[in-house]
């Protein structure tokens, strides 16, 4: 079975208002799930609008990332209050938590992304972390969200940093799927790869403009937030697992095992992972274009204030055996790095990380 997309997608500057009648038909006792204090006013608006339609509303907040402790606590709230749906409003961790809970309780999930940092509002997948933000595993869910609401007014309130993170995460779709699935005979997967190429090109062309002119009246901004939140999700839905993750996400998952003094967003870490993957392709798969791609990406990433190496994530790989820890987690048996069409060993990972940390790319 392949879960490709949400049942209904509302998009645009008044998407939330347009979605209200459909939401009211679906649920009578929803739980609004959120987290950040920065999104509190939006969640209050969501609460007020639902209340005006005579729904009985409940609320809960994540205390950490999408972790088992939070999931169990909120699951008990849902069961206690007999909620019949979840409306997850926030970033990727909130959306993942809402999807996971709804799937386990067999109730509908409505996703309302409040930033363009992720395609989590679209997908049938949840990433599970520890309370400290260390990646544990991803969980495939039975279905995509029932309703996805991408309201441009909501997303415009998010910090511009979240858009940069979303761009990096969406770019990974091409760099991962093009190498893991390039030889497949599956037509849908081939089409997903081509969509990811168009997505990459659009982000390379319009990403900087969207970042610097952060306005819902900017056509590039609209194109880019929807590329990050919708197109990236569609690619994973059509293409399946190998069109979602490979070495870039494997590096992300490993890097999260090292606790950084500063909190970094998912896409910010994935962006570093893309550069590490490309370096692996250059050294191990004789990819003659990899270095050119690295230079091209670094130009954009610098304009978006994105980190380009692990040290820029406030992690020193040369202390506390960090490089070894990252290499070990990257190469664990269930790691997505094994989707690469060439063999990788522990020394390869250590060498690539060390090389990228010590070298300055000349643009």
DSSP 205: H
Please give the Cα distance from 252 to 171 (Å, whole number). Answer: 14
The architecture in CATH of the region 160-358 reads Up-down Bundle (1.20)
What pLDDT does 363 receive?
42
Q: Are strands 30-34 and 109-113 parallel, antiparallel or unpaired?
A: unpaired
Under 8 Å CB-to-CB from 27, ≥6 apart: which residues? 55, 84, 85, 87, 108, 110
Give me the tens of pLDDT residue by residue for the chain, a chain 363 residues long. 788 999 999 999 999 999 999 999 999 999 999 998 999 999 999 999 999 999 999 999 999 989 999 999 999 999 999 999 999 999 999 999 999 999 999 999 999 999 999 999 999 999 999 999 999 999 999 999 999 999 999 999 999 999 999 999 999 999 999 998 878 888 999 999 999 999 999 999 999 999 999 988 999 999 999 999 999 999 999 998 767 689 999 999 999 999 988 899 999 999 999 999 999 999 888 888 999 999 999 999 999 999 999 999 999 999 999 999 999 999 999 999 999 999 999 999 999 999 999 876 544
Which residue bears the tokens 């809960």? 60
Please give the Cα distance from 250 to 3 (Å, whole number). Answer: 23
List for the chain the helix, strand, coil content (%; round to 5).
55, 10, 35
- Please state the domain extents for the chain: 8-156, 160-358
For the chain, the first-to-last Cα distance in angstroms comes to 45
* 8 A C-beta contact, residue 150 and residue 9: yes
What pLDDT does 242 receive?
67
Element (H, E) at 150: strand 147-151
* 8 A C-beta contact, residue 289 and residue 275: no
Phi, psi of 134 (to 5 degrees): -85, 130
CA angle, residues 192, 197, 200, in degrees to nearest 5: 125
What pLDDT does 287 receive?
85
CA distances from 202 to 189, 198, 305, 362 (A): 20, 6, 19, 25
Ramachandran category for residue 321: left, alpha or beta (phi over 0 → left; psi -120 to 50 → alpha): left
pTM score, two decimals?
0.95
What pLDDT does 261 receive?
85
Q: Are strands 125-129 and 85-90 parallel, antiparallel or unpaired?
A: unpaired
Per CATH, the number for 8-156 is 3.40.50.1970
What pLDDT does 184 receive?
87
Please give the Cα distance from 319 to 317 (Å, whole number). Answer: 6
Neighbouring C-beta atoms of residue 284, cutoff 10 Å: 16
What pLDDT does 93 receive?
96
What pLDDT does 358 receive?
83
Phi, psi of 9 (to 5 degrees): -120, 125
C-alpha 238 chain-centroid distance = 17
């Amino acid at each position: 079975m392949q879960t490709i997309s949400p049942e209904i997608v509302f998009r645009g500057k008044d998407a939330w208002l347009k979605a209200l009648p459909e939401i009211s038909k679906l649920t009578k006792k929803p739980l609004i799930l959120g987290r950040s204090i920065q999104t509190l006013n939006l969640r209050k608006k969501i609460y007020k609008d639902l209340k005006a339609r005579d729904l009985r509303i409940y609320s809960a907040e994540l205390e950490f990332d999408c972790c088992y402790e939070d999931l169990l606590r909120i699951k008990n709230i849902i069961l206690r209050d007999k909620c019949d749906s979840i409306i997850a409003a926030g970033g990727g961790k909130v959306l993942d938590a809402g999807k996971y809970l709804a799937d386990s309780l067999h109730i509908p999930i409505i996703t309302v992304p409040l930033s363009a940092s992720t395609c989590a509002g679209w997908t049938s997948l949840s990433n599970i972390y520890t309370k400290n933000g260390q990646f544990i595993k991803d969980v495939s869910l039975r279905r995509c969200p029932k309703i996805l609401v991408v309201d441009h007014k909501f997303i415009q309130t998010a910090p511009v940093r979240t858009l940069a993170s979303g761009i990096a995460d969406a770019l990974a779709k091409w760099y991962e799927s093009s190498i893991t699935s390039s030889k497949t005979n599956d037509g849908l997967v081939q089409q997903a790869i081509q969509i990811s190429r168009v997505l990459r090109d659009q982000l390379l062309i319009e990403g900087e403009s969207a970042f610097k002119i952060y306005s819902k009246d900017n056509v590039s901004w609209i194109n880019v937030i929807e590329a990050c939140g919708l197109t990236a999700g569609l690619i994973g839905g059509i293409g399946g697992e190998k069109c979602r993750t490979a070495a870039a996400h494997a590096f992300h998952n490993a890097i999260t095992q090292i606790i950084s003094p500063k909190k970094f967003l998912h896409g910010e870490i994935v962006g570093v992972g893309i550069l590490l993957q490309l370096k692996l392709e250059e050294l191990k798969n004789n990819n003659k274009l990899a270095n050119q791609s690295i230079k091209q990406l670094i130009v954009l990433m610098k304009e978006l204030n994105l980190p380009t190496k692990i040290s820029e994530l406030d992690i020193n790989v040369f202390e506390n055996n960090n490089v070894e820890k990252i290499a070990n987690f990257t190469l664990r048996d269930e790691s997505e790095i094994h989707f690469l069409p060439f063999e990788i060993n522990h020394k390869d990972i250590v060498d690539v990380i060390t090389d990228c940390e010590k070298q300055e790319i000349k643009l």
